[in-house]
Amino acid sequence: MIQYGLQHSFYKYRWSYNAWNHGDEATASKHRRLVCCRRDSAAFQAVVFSAQEEFVLTIGSDPLLWKGGAMRTVRCEVETAAPCRIEVKLIGLMEDDDRSLQADVLLEERHVKVPKRRLQAVWIELHADEAAAPGAYQGAVRFYTRTLFEDEVLDATLTFELTIRDHVLPAPQDHAFYLDLWQHNCNIARKYDAAYWSEEHFAVLDSYLHSLGQLGQKAVSVVVSEEPWSGQRTFLDAEPSDLNEYSIVPVVKRKDGSFHYDFSHLDRYVEMAERHGIREEIEVFGLVNIWRQDEAGYGALVEGFPDAIRVRYYDEAERRYAFIRSRQELAAYIQALEAHFLAKGWMDRVRVVADEPDDIALFKERMDCLRAIAPSFAYKAAINHAEFIGEQIEGLVDYVPILNCAAAEYEQLEQMRPFVKGKLAYYVCCAPELPNTFLCSPSIESRIIPWLAEQLGLDGFLRWNYTVWPDHPLERLSYRPSSWKAGDTNFVYPGRMGRPMLSLRYKWLQRGIRDYEYMQQLKAAGKGEQVQRLLEQVFRFKHPAELSPAANKRADELYSLQPDAYDRLYDL
């Protein structure tokens, strides 16, 4: 017997040796009520399970005979009268650090073999554009079965109702929420065996920028020197992965001794991002706070310079590659970057990024040096101590404290807001443990990210990890688990045909961002008090300091883990 059911979009299936699901509870619900705005979507999951037999589940209409011979085939079909585009994806399992399998990746495959006693989930999303007529619409999820050349038999019909509200959410490029997911483009190239900055590489990047644009991404990341993160120090790992990031700007030393800087790749990437609505910020990595590991060879190359900027060039006279080691030549390169951004009219969008500076005196020295060389640059820092804001470092415009800091030092941040000239957002990375977006994190925590920004009065969210995959992420995502929990390094996976495969965590974050945009509309319509009351209901902490790991609070002591509690936003 095969069982069928419907689940909330935030349902998260986990398979392990000691936690397999008989399916009775998971498949109990046969109907779901959904709601969305226009230029929005509503999603849910269909789940299929059998304790007695393995079977093939397909979401396509192609003829399908299982390659291993006679096996029962189940076909899932979705139908609705709603004026929506229907998206249906099989949900794949990814291995977590503890070897359990967690539902996460939205697969490109149209069918999958399902072992007995393992539940298979299907992602179903109904996309309503801005022209969709408001109203209540009925829909059905039908499952047909057959073996080999038998005629299909309708085995189950599950139903749903979608209510489309009159509200129209803003297009992603017009989102108020400030989303900054860093791009690691050399890692993307390696997963597709594409030469860096080749036509093949840019074709792939176009697809990845599209996926970022659909989230409302605000910043495009460009690396302008070699190894600003020193390969994430993977050389310290027993089994290192290639996480190296290289400059997007080729440099040539001509035979007459002059330097030529090729900004064509940088320009092309920035302009490509603009076409996907990513046009508020150009974040520049590789000019300040370069990660060092001197004993391993990842030190400074320019004597007397306070930072470890590494600029590679091709020497036409010597016919070899070398690195800039002269302070004067390094300054000329930085000034050429400044002049190019000014000439393009982009300087007001440029932010030179410092990733987690920890020595204020040294950071000030580096900033003073750079500002003397190129005074037009503005800076952004991901910080882990609020005191950086209090220092009022000249040129530092945007501040992004880690959540630990934003929580534990909330009063200090509030006092220092008048000194922040630009954005004040927050970030999570390998810490804190909660809320976070790891494979093992409760599904609702990805949705919470924008809600928390609203509750704390912050502008948005930053994370380092859109595509920082280990070498073979689809085979083993877990990497450096003592520091990085599985999922810490990515929101998407490298799919075939140069396109990313999205994850449940991507979809859940997108839902949270759309919630945030709807909150802004409600507040503008005079419903700010209702929004605040709902925030006070879903968040259970009395003071932001309780979010700090030092408070030793469980997730359910800090916020509701029930998706329905957040869905109440659409009843306001």
pLDDT digits (tens, 9 = 90+) for 280-297: 999 999 999 999 999 999
* Per-residue tokens: 250: 């080729």
Please determine, for residue 354, whether its predicted confidence score (pLDDT) is greater than 60.
yes
* pLDDT at residue 72 is higher than 70: yes
Task: With beta carbons less than 8 A apart as the criterion, state whether 132 and 86 touch.
Answer: no
The mean per-residue pLDDT over the stretch 346-354 comes to 98
Q: What is residue 279's DSSP assignment? A: -
295-310 pLDDT tens trace:
999 999 999 999 999 9
Q: Which residues contact 193 (CB under 8 A, 6 or more apart)?
A: none
Q: Are 435 and 449 in contact (CB under 8 A)?
A: yes
- Contact by Cβ (8 Å): 20, 28: no
Give the pLDDT band of residue 22 (cuts 50, 70, 90): low
Distance separating alpha carbons of residues 564 and 285, to the nearest angstrom: 40
Cβ atoms of 66 and 41 closer than 8 Å: no
Question: Is the pTM higher than 0.85?
Answer: yes
Domains for the chain: give ranges and CATH numbers: 3-168 (2.60.40.10), 176-511 (3.20.20)
Over the stretch 221-266, which tens digit does the pLDDT of each residue have? 999 999 999 999 999 999 999 999 999 999 999 999 999 999 999 9
Is residue 321 within 8 A of residue 313, CB to CB? The reply is: yes
479-507 pLDDT, tens per residue?
Answer: 999 999 999 999 999 999 999 999 999 99
Q: Which two tokens stand for residue 566?
A: 């957040």
Whole-number mean pLDDT of the chain?
96
Residues 6+ apart with CB under 8 A from 29: 5, 6, 7
In this predicted structure, the answer to whether residue 121 has a pLDDT above a threshold of 60 is yes
| pLDDT mean over 416-433 | 94
Question: Any idea how long the chain is?
Answer: 572
Residue 218 tokens, joined: 């605000």
HEC per residue, 334-393: HHHHHHHHHHHCCHHHEEEEEECCCCHHHHHHHHHHHHHHCCCCCEEEEECCCHHHHCCC
pLDDT given for residue 384 in this prediction: 86
Give the pLDDT of residue 217.
98
Mean pLDDT of 134-149: 98
Q: What secondary structure does DSSP assign to 286-306, as a single string? A: SSSS---BGGGTB---STT-S
pLDDT for 416: 86
The pLDDT of residue 431 is 95
pLDDT band at 17 (very low <50, low <70, confident <90, very high): low
Question: What phi and psi, each to the nearest 5 degrees, are found at residue 435?
Answer: -75, 150
Burial group, residue 392, by CB count within 10 angstroms (0-12, 13-18, 19+): exposed
Check: CB of residue 379 under 8 Å from CB of residue 395.
yes
- Contact residues for 553 (Cβ-Cβ < 8 A; gap 6+): 541, 546, 547
Distances (CA, A) of 96 to 11, 99, 367, 488, 516: 17, 5, 41, 11, 30
Residue 571 has pLDDT above 60, yes or no: yes
Residue 116 pLDDT exceeds 80: yes
Higher-confidence residue of 99 and 19: namely 99
Q: Tell me the mean pLDDT in the region 79-98.
A: 98
Q: Which of 72, 48, 60, 173 is nearest to 110 (CA)?
A: 60
Q: What is the mean pLDDT of residues 162-168?
A: 98
What is the 3-state composition of the chain as percent helix, strand, coil, each rounded to the nearest 5? 30, 30, 40
Which of the four pLDDT bands, split at 50, 70 and 90, describes residue 20?
low
Confidence of residue 180 (pLDDT cuts 50, 70, 90): very high
With a cut of 60, say whether residue 19 has pLDDT above it: no
Contacts of 478 (CB under 8 A, 6+ apart): 95, 96, 97, 486
pLDDT over 90 percentage in the chain: 95
Residue 228 host element (H or E): none
